[in-house]
Homo-oligomer: A and B are copies of this chain.
Amino acid sequence: MKILVSLSLLAMFNLNAQDLKKGEELYKQCIACHGVKGEGNPAQKAPKLAGQHDWYIEKQLNDMKVGKIRQNAAMVPFLNKLSPQDMKDLALYISKL
């Protein structure tokens, strides 16, 4: 029973953990506009992302995907491919740029 509880807790933890390596992989599709170092690009209307708080990046990605309080048509094709976990991983990687 104890082992089962421990395993369940471990699974829950891993489910919510942020995966930096996965974030780095996911970020490759952001580079064309936001830059390798997340520096942004006025020509693409892409803001600087480097060093932004991870909770903020995650919230904005989610808000733009839902499209109620924040609408960004250019981001939609990318957002549609991101799961909630992807957003967490991506946010962590961006916060470390």
Chain A residues close to B by CB (< 8 Å): 40, 42, 45, 47-48, 51-53, 55-56, 68-72
Contact = CB atoms under 8 A, between A and B. Distances in A.
Give the number of times this chain occurs in the complex, counting copies. 2
A55 B68 CA distance: 23
A56 B40 contact: yes
B69 A42 contact: no
B56 A47 contact: yes
A71 B63 CA distance: 10
Contacts of A42: 53, 55
A74 to B, nearest CB: 12
20 contacts: A40-B52, A40-B53, A40-B56, A42-B53, A42-B55, A45-B56, A47-B52, A47-B53, A47-B56, A48-B51, A48-B52, A48-B53, A48-B56, A51-B51, A68-B71, A69-B70, A69-B71, A69-B72, A70-B70, A70-B71
